[in-house]
Amino acid sequence: MRLRLGSALAALALTTTLAACGGANSTSGDEEGGQKGGTLTILTSSTSITLDPANSWNLPVTTLGLLDRRLTNWKVGKSGEAEVVPDLATDTGTPSEDGKTWTYTLKDGIEFSDGTPITAKDVKYAIERTYAPALSEGIGYHRSLLAGSEGYQGPFDGKELDSIETPDDKTIVFHLNAPYGDWPWIVSTTSTAPVPAGKAPADTFGQKPVTSGPYAVESYTAGGDLVLVRNEHWDPKTDETRTAGPDKIVVRQGQDPAVEAQKLIADAPADQKTFGADFVPPAQLAQIQAKPDAKKRLVTSGPGALEYLALNTQSPKLKDVKVRQALNYAIDRKAYIVAAGGPVSADPASTLITPGIAGREDYELYDAGESGDVAKAKSLLASAGVKDLALTLITSNDATDVAKSEAIQQAYAKVGVKVTIKPLEDDAKTTADTGDDAKAYDLSLGSWQPDYPSAAGNIQPLFDSSQIGGGGYNISRYTSAAADGLIKKALAETDKEAAGKLWAQADRTILGDAPVVPLIYTKNSFLHGSKVADFYIGSFPAYPVYPAVTLEP
């Protein structure tokens, strides 16, 4: 009886598939030729997309890069380093002699999706909004750099931030409280994208935002679909970084990464104009090796984010630098790389600054070989007088991170160090990492990709002593006057070459104290359907460039 029900359902399923396919063929039309038109689907495991730019952490090359323009943008080619280029502004900014004042001029013919022209006031208003408590969740390096911003709470009650001047509709001037050579990168962050001045309330703007990029928001359901359609008021002639190929883009949230990858490997007709925004999981990477058709559609980045094991220098067990160095020698990078998905997903790391960033020097301070130098580690532990070391390792609670942690656990077991893994939900881990309780963990598995391609973004947030606890990402809780001094000097340096040298010096100085074990540079792999074109990853960031993607008919 159940059998009959089953076959009836299968029959029903079959007829509806046919119906659905028929429908799809007639709607997804072949009217457009070349590289314009079509509906692109992006699959993602994320379950919420923040559409108010002020609260967004999006990189300029991902979803909000399709929606919002900024003063400057990243030009990420198929090869070569990422460049900062003008977007809404006519150039990447003119600094004053002392490097504390930056002036921008807006282009002509730029409009919001509601048809109103974009003025300097809109840029100022958008940046002022990021100081409101409800809107300060985004990437906000500008917040502490703009002069006189202490205690400022946003523009909603009529107060302005005087360090942003708008002498006319086209000109905008920023006054900083210290010289800052990377400012052109700062005004490319999503949170600085303009919104219509006075018409972007804190509570409702994100539900149906007015945009400045090639797309406008048609609809959004939490955990469901984000549907983007063309913004008729966007003029391609003013925009050198976005090609805006597809007519419509559907971002489908809440996907299981393994199922998502399966779907893209199968490449059924309905999924050919689709790409996955998640990294392809190790199992599917292995699966693809045997499938030349799918292998062609796999795009893998160069070495990207640094994964490292943070050694809590404030933990009594890890106070001794010899113990931390021993842990550096004992690491089994081979096992770790296998757990991370094999050589296709990771390159071994031995430095802090990530490849593709100016100033990086390659060196190896603790030669652990492929699978760890057990003898060296044991002798260091012995000379430190340490026996029966038992450490707690906190890690994100997902299969891959737990597997990586187990690889570390195994490696340290060989030198007699007992590691207890404590998997935490992501936010509980962030709270432990960045909270004030120095006793919450001994080891923490960390991963860091700078928010903009500069060595400052590699070193300062992770190792400056001002970044310990209170929300900072110095999860090794590392304090060193020498390192702090170098960081300060490098930040103020406006000459790119000289700054690079200082950062490289900081890299070595810090690693000499062994506050972390550099593990790997991750290589991210993404899959796309067979009718997706211009899908590539630049040298930085290790993510595909959404605004460049086009569809084949």
Query: Of 119-138, which residues contact another protein (CB under 8 A)?
Result: 129, 132-138
Note whether 60 binds another protein by CB under 8 A.
no
In degrees and rounded to multiples of 5, residue 206 shows phi and psi of -70, -15
Least CB distance to another protein at residue 110 (A): 26
Q: Using CB under 8 A, pick the residue from 425, 482, 485, 496 that binds another protein.
A: 425
Q: Which stretch binds another protein (CB under 8 A): 49-57, 63-71, 85-93, 180-188?
A: 49-57
Q: CA–CA separation, 10 vs 211, rounded Å?
A: 45
Both structure tokens of 77: 């080619």
Least CB distance to another protein at residue 36 (A): 26
CA distances from 258 to 45, 315, 406 (A): 10, 38, 21
Residues 68-107 vs another protein: string with x where CB under 8 A? ----------------------------------------
Q: Which stretch binds another protein (CB under 8 A): 80-88, 234-242, 390-398, 516-524?
A: 390-398
Q: Using CB under 8 A, pick the residue from 147, 384, 421, 533 that binds another protein.
A: 421
Note whether 53 binds another protein by CB under 8 A.
no
Note whether 19 binds another protein by CB under 8 A.
yes
Least CB distance to another protein at residue 52 (A): 7
Both structure tokens of 396: 């994100």
Note whether 12 binds another protein by CB under 8 A.
yes
Can you point out the beta strands (E) in 296-407?
A: 298-300, 306-311, 346-348, 390-396
Q: CA–CA separation, 219 vs 207, rounded Å?
A: 9
Least CB distance to another protein at residue 23 (A): 8
**How many chain residues touch another protein (CB under 8 A)?**
107
Would you say 11 or 382 has its CB closer to another protein? 11
Would you say 386 or 403 has its CB closer to another protein? 403
Please, which of residues 302-361 interact with another protein by CB under 8 A? 334-335, 338-339, 341-344
Cβ atoms of 162 and 173 closer than 8 Å: no
Q: Using CB under 8 A, pick the residue from 154, 450, 538, 544 that binds another protein.
A: 154
Q: Using CB under 8 A, pick the residue from 168, 232, 426, 495 that binds another protein.
A: 426
Q: Using CB under 8 A, pick the residue from 1, 31, 33, 362 that binds another protein.
A: 1
Half-sphere exposure of 99 (CA within 13 A, CB side): 13
Would you say 259 or 482 has its CB closer to another protein? 259
Q: CA–CA separation, 300 vs 526, rounded Å?
A: 6
CA distances from 379 to 32, 317, 322, 369 (A): 69, 17, 10, 16
Q: Using CB under 8 A, pick the residue from 182, 260, 278, 513 that binds another protein.
A: 260
Note whether 48 binds another protein by CB under 8 A.
yes
Q: CA nearest 35: which of 238, 239, 246?
A: 246
Q: Which stretch binds another protein (CB under 8 A): 96-104, 118-126, 423-431, 511-519?
A: 423-431
Which three-class secondary structure string do you get for 178-220?
CCCCCHHHHCCCHHHCCCCCCCCCCCCCCCCCCCCCCEEEEEE
Please, which of residues 430-489 interact with another protein by CB under 8 A? 430-432, 434-435, 451, 461, 467, 470-473
Helix spans in 350-454 (H): 374-383, 399-413, 426-434
Q: Using CB under 8 A, pick the residue from 144, 162, 168, 361 that binds another protein.
A: 144
Least CB distance to another protein at residue 435 (A): 7
Q: Using CB under 8 A, pick the residue from 423, 479, 492, 508 that binds another protein.
A: 423
Can you point out the beta strands (E) in 342-456?
A: 346-348, 390-396, 418-424, 443-448
Cβ atoms of 272 and 247 closer than 8 Å: no
Q: CA–CA separation, 56 vs 66, rounded Å?
A: 13
Q: CA–CA separation, 341 vs 284, rounded Å?
A: 10
Please, which of residues 275-294 interact with another protein by CB under 8 A? 281-287, 289
